[in-house]
Amino acid sequence: MRFFIPSHFVIFENNAISSIVCFIYKHKSESNLFKFFLLIIAATMILNITPAIAHGPVFSPGSETLYKNGIEFQAGYFSSKNAADSEYELAMGLGYGINQDWEISMELPYLNIDEGGSKNNGTSNVQLETKYRFWRHNSFAKQDSVTGFIKAVLDTAKKTSSPSLSSGTNDFITGLAYGQESLIWQHWASFRYRYNGKSNTDIERGNQLFADASMGWRSEPPQYYESDTLWMVELNTEYTQASRKNNISLANTGGTELFISPGIILAYRNVALKSGVQLPIYSNLSGAQKKSDYRLKFTLDINF
């Protein structure tokens, strides 16, 4: 049996030691000496550590990065509904860990759009991202970290009939993500700013600001050779500026939406299935815009 401490991303190889660690954790309230013994055990096993998968939120970015030379394959499904409009997306992604703090990735989505009965489908814009974790602090069975990231959404979609699979611009997203991981609780927070480019029709789509806070909980410490279940809830805020044309704000554009997003992560060793649903709890959209009904997301992550 291996005992997995996700906060430090280590696996204890020794069966007897891992059993002692589990026993100490479950009875830690009986004496403060248990913490002392646990620290000694961790120190004596420091040479027997190996990398393991880390988890982030479902709808917002996390602070985790791949280990050095690690490869991540990702397959995702996303759907959203706004009144009579709906959108379905299938996406394939690939990531690579340059080192334990620096990760690069790319994603290619396939979209199916229905806007009031007008439909279109096909490959959408390629997305390229780089993440760098510039701060990390380890404490007793807990890790805090902060990561910065930049994503480019390139205008690579095929230009077809309406509704378009692309806005016709190259857009950029930058932000910061904070994470705190421990044996039972996990917490995340992030801020993102999306700069939307100017289309060839001279329409400047409003830039967007995203703010997220997330919390995860598991009923017992995970073990590497057993399945791990993490229950989650997120608060996701989206603020969009009004779009402009010829320096004049356009009606029925811009506003704020707030979502509550329950989710779950099911993991086994280097494989994780993440799913969640976004439900609107506050909406202040300008003009006669359609409010969000729901958003649904499933993601399969496999690390090599």
pLDDT number for residue 49: 39
3-state DSSP of 167-222: CCCCEEEEEEEEEEEECCEEEEEEEEEEECCECCCCEECCCEEEEEEEEEECCCCC
Rounded Cα distance between 123 and 138, Å, is 42
Q: Which two tokens stand for residue 218?
A: 């598991």
Domain boundaries, the chain: 1-50, 54-303
Q: Which two tokens stand for residue 141?
A: 């069975």
Handedness of CA 48, 51, 57, 63 (dihedral sign): positive
Of 10-14, 102-106, 224-228, where does the model show the most confidence? 102-106
Provide mean pLDDT across the span 20-34.
50
We find that the CATH architecture of domain 54-303 is Beta Barrel (2.40)
Rounded Cα distance between 291 and 140, Å, is 45
Indicate if the pLDDT at residue 87 is higher than 90. Answer: yes
E strand segments, 40-83? 71-82
Whether the Cβ atoms of residue 204 and residue 245 lie closer than 8 Å to each other: yes
Indicate if the pLDDT at residue 40 is higher than 90. Answer: no
Rounded Cα distance between 91 and 245, Å, is 32
Return mean pLDDT, the chain. 85
Question: Which pTM does this prediction carry?
Answer: 0.82
pLDDT number for residue 164: 85
Q: What pLDDT, in 10s, does the model give residues 248-295?
A: 999 999 999 999 999 999 999 899 999 999 999 999 999 888 889 999
Q: What pLDDT, in 10s, does the model give residues 114-131?
A: 988 889 999 999 999 999
Rounded Cα distance between 168 and 295, Å, is 24
Indicate if the pLDDT at residue 42 is higher than 50. Answer: no
Indicate if the pLDDT at residue 192 is higher than 90. Answer: yes
54: pLDDT confidence band, cut at 50, 70 and 90?
low
Indicate if the pLDDT at residue 174 is higher than 80. Answer: yes
pLDDT number for residue 225: 83
pLDDT number for residue 281: 97
